[in-house]
Amino acid sequence: MKTTTSLHNVFKKSQLAILGLTFLLCSIIFVLVASFTLSTYAKRSLTVLTKALSERIQPAVVFNDKAAIDKILNNFINEYPIRSITVADQTGNPITESIQYQSSPLQLEFILDNLYFSKPIEVKIEHNNQYFGKLIVYGNSSSHVEFFKKIIFSLCIGFLFIFIILHWSVNSIYKYLMHSINPIVQTAKTISSNKNYALRFSDSNISELNEINSVFNELLTKIQASNQQLQNENQQLSYRANHDELTQLPNRNYFYEKLIYIFKHNLNQNIALLFIDNNNFKEINDKYGHLAGDAVLKEMAFRLKSNLRQNDFIARFGGDEFAVLVNDITHKENVITICENLLDSCKKPIIHANQEIYFSFSIGIALGCYFNSPETLIIEADSSMYKAKILPEHWFIAS
């Protein structure tokens, strides 16, 4: 599994990287500039001190007064940042020497001494254009050590200040981004959980997030259109699977589902099942043709449905047979009245191809309160329908 990290951790890591890089670059630049400046300043200062010392020591060297020379050297070396002073004669041999200290290689002063004062300042001692010797002076970096300590301390303070600023900045940016991203996350969760593709991502005050929202909204529009088209197609397929193509009435499968539901939920006490069969359909087909037969079936379906109540259910059972579930039947007389109204609807002929075509049908009736299963109810209604065909009133109710 691929390892992931949070946006907050990414910001923290970037914060530390920026902080470390900033501190390193600032430290290097600051140290280099300070070193160059101090080196130039130290050499010039040492040169000035050496020339001043040569003028002061000149009389003592001319008269070879070693005691005076030592005194002057000691005063200078204690008063100014000088590591060592050597006075040499005309041949270069040391007359006297004064040393302030010898630093250890592990000390910072040793490093700075070799960095700034690795070479001495040499000044000739002359009087009346006569050469008496030379003065050799090595500088002392003790004052620079304090300066570098202050630089390091200042860098640490600056580092801490930058860290605080960056920490505040990163947290502020993170909170701002989370505040801008949160509506996107919440909207995406809502769409995912509720499958509500009509939702849209709201505008953001960050242009990059607005571009993401725009892409998502375009995708949602396409998904919504595709989903709507799929729903429409499913509805059409469902309708075709449950309805007769010719009459547009529910088909046999739909009728069985309806009847099974009624018995499953014990709703059969107040229903009646009517089986309706055309009496002369074969003769119509033989005499007028199959197109006329289809026209009769369509008209028969229309008249039956028009004479039923809104809560009654009619289906084409197959061929020239229809089935009707009549609801709210409390007495036999109720269903007999309905059957008579249905039979009256077929008295007028239909006009097809400028020809009058008469048709009639018979109705078999079975009351749901007398049966415990859909199968027995259907068998009894079908049997009643065949009995109705031989009766003058063309209806028969099973008792």
Asked if 63 and 128 count as a contact pair (C-beta separation under 8 A), the reply is: no
Tokens of 182: 């949160």
Q: From residue 365, give the alpha-carbon distance in Å to each of 135, 246, 378.
A: 141, 25, 10
Element (H, E) at 6: none
Across the chain, mean pLDDT equals: 85
Q: What is the pLDDT of residues 26-80, one digit of tens each?
A: 777 776 776 677 667 777 877 887 888 888 888 888 888 888 888 888 888 887 7
User: What CA–CA distance (Å, rounded) separates 50 from 86?
Assistant: 11
Tell me what pLDDT residue 357 has.
95
Tell me what pLDDT residue 143 has.
67
User: What CA–CA distance (Å, rounded) separates 56 from 61?
Assistant: 10
Is pLDDT above 70 for 185?
yes
Q: What is the pLDDT of residues 90-134, one digit of tens each?
A: 887 888 887 776 655 556 667 777 766 778 888 888 888 888 888
Is pLDDT above 80 for 147?
no
Widest CA span of the chain, in angstroms?
169
For the ranges 9-23, 241-255, 340-354, 367-381, the lowest mean pLDDT is seen at 9-23
The pTM (predicted TM-score) of the whole model is 0.54
Mean pLDDT value across residues 299-317: 94
What are the residues facing 314 on neighbouring strands?
Answer: 324
Tell me what pLDDT residue 320 has.
94
- Percent of the residues in the chain that have a pLDDT greater than 90, as a whole number: 37
Residue 64 sits at the vertex; the CA angle it makes with 58 and 65, to the nearest 5 degrees, is: 90
For the ranges 55-59, 141-145, 180-184, 327-331, the lowest mean pLDDT is seen at 141-145
Where do we find the tokens 């005691």?
Answer: 67
Q: How many CA atoms lie within 13 A of 18 on its CB side?
A: 14
Tell me what pLDDT residue 101 has.
62
User: What CA–CA distance (Å, rounded) separates 336 from 272?
Assistant: 10
Asked if 133 and 90 count as a contact pair (C-beta separation under 8 A), the reply is: yes
Mean pLDDT value across residues 158-163: 80
